Structure 1
Amino acid sequence: MKSKFLLMLISLVFFLNACSKDDNDAAEILETPVANAPKDVNDNGFKAKWNYVSHSKSYLLDVSTSEDFTTILPNYNSKEVTDLNEVVTGLTGGTQYYYRVRAKTEAQISDYSNVISVVTTGSNGIPEDPTFLKVKVNKLANPFFVGMAIKVSQLTNGTPYDVILRNEFSSISAEYEMKMDQISTASGVYNWTVADKIVAYGNTNNINVHGHALVWHNAVPQWLKDFSGTDAEFAAEVKKYITDVVTHYAGKVKSWDVVNEAVDDNGGAMRNTIFLQRMGPNYVKDCFQWARNAAIAAGDTSLLLFYNDYATSTNIVKQDKVFAILEDLKTAKVIDGVGFQMHNTYLSPTKAQIETDLNRAVAKGLKIHVSELDIQVNQFNDISSFTNERRLAQKAKYKEIVKIYNALPAANKYALTIWGMKDNESWIPYSTELNHPGNDWPLLYDSNFAVKSSHTGFLEGLD
């Protein structure tokens, strides 16, 4: 009896010890640490920080130049740290870095923490890629036009504008000077002087000329705004204008934005313009048909006709309405492509949103023109100078968009056009129309005509 009792006691002790061990093991499963924003950022490094994890004996720190940690710095590849911070040194100024940590005991390692982004101060001293954009694009298996929005004042031979345009770009769009209120001075009366200079510059320098734009509600000449004839007579005036302009530039302008921004930003309705009011809901198709008829009559059977609009990647109701119009124009066989303006920010739209938008056009067999690309970095007016962090974020966004565009099927590519040359001449800084209260740096060149990291990002997007 005594031996049985002793055996039961020994078994109970073993059982309690086992339970205690299991409880301790369960208690010591390591939580995933939380990494915090860095401190003391300077030209050569920063202090990485993270929160305490119960039962951890140390932490493993990774520092990388890539967000996916495919390249980890040799001295910071699972570097073991016993504190809740580590001074990271030996870095390059003006460079993007990322860090993450794991908690560790003798027997366990936790999952990775969140990833923290940090940009060192100063300059990285690495020059931007000087390769000319069109040179690299023209070496692609499926090249496309690289465009720039221009003003006639920039086209004087030998100026920095002229040199950059001829070296870097294979297409031009007039920023404003080929719109209706610039050309049409009265019914059947035209001032071709400025537009002719733009077209001649392109033709002389073997640069594609994209016409922008035949019909836009913000470029209606005063005489047409005040037109007192019937609605049918109003439509006849618009038809005459489109016919005369397309005929005048037949064979010289290779593509036109026929109608610009016909869809409202709210509710998926047609924008309530003078053209809608006086010509009815079919006015867009009528304008395309008149442009197509004029081109054919002039013997220009290769003219490409585009519809152009903005903010369709994020405004899905607007996107749906635009594509309903495109479907109607496609059925009528009067459209060749669609222009996505892409006045974007470094945060928006997302890659997935842009791809979804463009792929809808691919599915319809339309050519795609990224027609007015610029990328804001100060949309919230929260910086007073162009910081390294925003510089690199802008570079990454340009790279992302170019990469998306370059991946399109060859049949759907047309052109990727940057909306202006220099930051200080962009329409974005201090724009009341855009409700942009402060400065910005949205383009590929700074105020001194020097290429920026965004230019390098464009080039990298072609790889």
Structure 2
Amino acid sequence: MKIKFLLVLVSLFFSLNSCSKEDNDVAETLETPTANAPKDVNDNGFKAKWNYVSNSKSYLLDVSTSENFDTFVANYNAKPVTDLNEVVVGLLGGTQYYYRVRAKTETEISDYSNVISVVTTGSSGIPEDPTFLKVKANKVANPFFVGMAIKASQLTTGSPYDIILKNEFSSISAEYEMKMDQISTASGVYNWSVADKIVAYGNTNGINVHGHALVWHNAVPQWLKNFSGTDAEFALEVKKYITDVVTHYAGKVKSWDVVNEAVDDTDGKMRNTIFLQRMGANYVKDCFQWAKNAANAAGDTKLLLFYNDYATSTNIPKQDKVFSLVDDLKTANVIDGLGFQMHNTYLSPTKAQIETDLNKAVAKGLKIHVSELDIQVNQFNDITTFTNERRLVQKAKYKEMVKIYNALPVANKYALTIWGMRDNESWIPYSTDLNHVGNDWPLLYDSNFAIKSSHTGFLEGLD
């Protein structure tokens, strides 16, 4: 009986001991800490903060100028900290930094926390990279045109626009002056003067000219809006216009946006334009066929024909409809490329969304034109001056976009075009279309023609 009693006691001892070890094991398992927004940000540093983790004895703090933490700020690579905050010092003003933490016991280290972004106040004092865009773009493994949207009034010899265009850009697109309502004054009657000046400027200076755009619902001349003939006669007027314009610029304009923004934003259907109403569901294909026929008849067999639209990276029904339209045009063998406008913001689209969108065009064997790139930093009208934080995040987004484009296969590259030169002349600030009631700084040059960090970001995207 005594032996049985002792056996029970021994068994109970080992059982309790085992449970105690299991409890300790659970207790010692470290949770991942949560990093919080910084405090006391100044020109030279900030206070990094994070939440308490049970059972941790200390924390390991990383600080980097790279979101990927492929390099570290000196003395901040897994720096041991025993408190729930650390004053980070010795930094540069006006510079983007990132921090993260891990919890630590004597034997265990947790996973990394979330990453916190912080921009120090003041100015970094580091000058922007003055390298000319097209010079660097021409040195990449698979070069492409670097484009700029322009107005004829900017093309005066010796003007700041002229100097920048000749130094930095290898392609131009007319911002508005080569659209239908600017050229066509009546049936078969054309005012070529302004468009001719743009095309001659490009041809004289060895700059590629991209034609924008033959058909757009917001650029219909009044005489055509009021056209009282039959629908068939209306279609013949559009055909005549496309044929005459493509013929007039044969060999001088190397590519055209044949149709611009034909797909609706809300339901993934065709936009209900005058062209759809009067020419029917196949009007886009008809326009492409007329453009191709005109080029061939003029001996311009190398003319590239593009469809151009916006917001396809985030609006999936619209994206699907655009690619359905493209499939129809490819079956008819009348399209060469797709224009992605990319009027982006510093928050959207994401890198993955852009890559998915562009890769669909790659899979279809299309040339890709990032045709109207600008990046808003004040879409919520929440800042009144161009802050360091927005400056740096805009630089990063330009770098990201250029890096994505530069990684495309050589056969799919055409041009990457910036939609305007100076911030103060962009269409975005105070745009009623965007419901943008405040200022913005979306481009590569400020109001004084000085290059911005976004320009440096473009260059870094080519590395």
How has the CA–CA distance of structure 1 residues 287 and 22 changed in structure 2, closer, same or farther, with 3 Å as cutoff? closer
Q: Which amino acid aligns with 2:351?
A: K
Which deviates the most, 253-262 or 21-30?
A: 21-30
How has the CA–CA distance of structure 1 residues 20 and 188 changed in structure 2, closer, same or farther, with 3 Å as cutoff? same
How has the CA–CA distance of structure 1 residues 271 and 2 changed in structure 2, closer, same or farther, with 3 Å as cutoff? closer
**1:421-440 deviations in Å (ceiling 9; x for gaps):** 01111000110012112111
Task: Give the corresponding residue for 2:93.
Answer: 93
Task: Give the corresponding residue for 2:118.
Answer: 118
Task: Give the corresponding residue for 1:178.
Answer: 178
Task: Give the corresponding residue for 1:203.
Answer: 203
How has the CA–CA distance of structure 1 residues 91 and 248 changed in structure 2, closer, same or farther, with 3 Å as cutoff? same
Provide the secondary structure at the position in 1 that maps to 2:75: helix
Write the mapping of 1:98-247 to structure 2, written as runs, cut at 5 A: 98-247=98-247
How has the CA–CA distance of structure 1 residues 103 and 234 changed in structure 2, closer, same or farther, with 3 Å as cutoff? same
Q: Which amino acid aligns with 1:66?
A: S
Segments of structure 2 that go 5 or more residues without pairing to the other structure are: none
Using the TM superposition, give the Cα deviation of residue 24 of structure 1 relative to its aligned residue in structure 2, in angstroms: 2.7
How has the CA–CA distance of structure 1 residues 197 and 5 changed in structure 2, closer, same or farther, with 3 Å as cutoff? same
Write the mapping of 1:41-80 to structure 2, written as runs, cut at 5 A: 41-80=41-80
Is 1:406 matched with 2:411? no
Whole-angstrom CA distance in 1 between matches of 2:26 and 2:216: 68
Provide the secondary structure at the position in 1 that maps to 2:203: helix
Whole-angstrom CA distance in 1 between matches of 2:243 and 2:111: 66
How has the CA–CA distance of structure 1 residues 227 and 53 changed in structure 2, closer, same or farther, with 3 Å as cutoff? same
Using the TM superposition, give the Cα deviation of residue 452 of structure 1 relative to its aligned residue in structure 2, in angstroms: 1.1
Task: Give the corresponding residue for 1:440.
Answer: 440
Using the TM superposition, give the Cα deviation of residue 17 of structure 1 relative to its aligned residue in structure 2, in angstroms: 4.0
Using the TM superposition, give the Cα deviation of residue 323 of structure 1 relative to its aligned residue in structure 2, in angstroms: 1.1
Whole-angstrom CA distance in 2 between matches of 1:29 and 1:321: 51
Using the TM superposition, give the Cα deviation of residue 74 of structure 1 relative to its aligned residue in structure 2, in angstroms: 2.5
TM-score normalised to structure 1 length: 0.97
Q: Which amino acid aligns with 1:152?
A: A
How has the CA–CA distance of structure 1 residues 82 and 280 changed in structure 2, closer, same or farther, with 3 Å as cutoff? same
Using the TM superposition, give the Cα deviation of residue 106 of structure 1 relative to its aligned residue in structure 2, in angstroms: 2.4
Write the mapping of 1:263-412 to structure 2, written as runs, cut at 5 A: 263-412=263-412
Whole-angstrom CA distance in 1 between matches of 2:332 and 2:12: 87
Task: Give the corresponding residue for 2:38.
Answer: 38
Whole-angstrom CA distance in 2 between matches of 1:219 and 1:6: 98
Using the TM superposition, give the Cα deviation of residue 46 of structure 1 relative to its aligned residue in structure 2, in angstroms: 0.2
Which deviates the most, 11-20 or 319-328?
A: 11-20
Q: How many residues align?
A: 463
Report the identity percentage: 87
Whole-angstrom CA distance in 2 between matches of 1:453 and 1:98: 18
Using the TM superposition, give the Cα deviation of residue 30 of structure 1 relative to its aligned residue in structure 2, in angstroms: 2.1
Q: Which amino acid aligns with 1:456?
A: T
Provide the secondary structure at the position in 2 that maps to 1:402: helix
Q: Which amino acid aligns with 1:131?
A: T
Whole-angstrom CA distance in 1 between matches of 2:293 and 2:15: 93
TM-score normalised to structure 2 length: 0.97
Which deviates the most, 8-17 or 176-185?
A: 8-17
Which deviates the most, 237-246 or 15-24?
A: 15-24
Task: Give the corresponding residue for 2:23.
Answer: 23
Using the TM superposition, give the Cα deviation of residue 404 of structure 1 relative to its aligned residue in structure 2, in angstroms: 1.1
Which deviates the most, 239-248 or 37-46?
A: 239-248
How has the CA–CA distance of structure 1 residues 432 and 12 changed in structure 2, closer, same or farther, with 3 Å as cutoff? same
Segments of structure 1 that go 5 or more residues without pairing to the other structure are: none
Whole-angstrom CA distance in 1 between matches of 2:169 and 2:327: 32
Whole-angstrom CA distance in 1 between matches of 2:25 and 2:298: 84
Q: Which amino acid aligns with 2:200?
A: A
Provide the secondary structure at the position in 2 that maps to 1:75: coil
Using the TM superposition, give the Cα deviation of residue 55 of structure 1 relative to its aligned residue in structure 2, in angstroms: 2.1
Whole-angstrom CA distance in 1 between matches of 2:45 and 2:401: 30
Whole-angstrom CA distance in 2 between matches of 1:380 and 1:448: 25
Using the TM superposition, give the Cα deviation of residue 85 of structure 1 relative to its aligned residue in structure 2, in angstroms: 0.8
Task: Give the corresponding residue for 1:429.
Answer: 429
Whole-angstrom CA distance in 1 between matches of 2:119 and 2:25: 40
Using the TM superposition, give the Cα deviation of residue 280 of structure 1 relative to its aligned residue in structure 2, in angstroms: 1.0
Whole-angstrom CA distance in 2 between matches of 1:395 and 1:438: 21
Q: Which amino acid aligns with 1:119?
A: V
Using the TM superposition, give the Cα deviation of residue 29 of structure 1 relative to its aligned residue in structure 2, in angstroms: 2.1
Whole-angstrom CA distance in 1 between matches of 2:11 and 2:329: 85
**1:208-238 deviations in Å (ceiling 9; x for gaps):** 0001001100000111111111111111111
Which deviates the most, 50-59 or 452-461?
A: 50-59
How has the CA–CA distance of structure 1 residues 23 and 198 changed in structure 2, closer, same or farther, with 3 Å as cutoff? same
Using the TM superposition, give the Cα deviation of residue 13 of structure 1 relative to its aligned residue in structure 2, in angstroms: 4.4
Q: Which amino acid aligns with 1:182?
A: Q
Using the TM superposition, give the Cα deviation of residue 7 of structure 1 relative to its aligned residue in structure 2, in angstroms: 7.4
**1:377-403 deviations in Å (ceiling 9; x for gaps):** 111111111111111111111111111
Task: Give the corresponding residue for 1:420.
Answer: 420
Provide the secondary structure at the position in 1 that maps to 2:275: helix
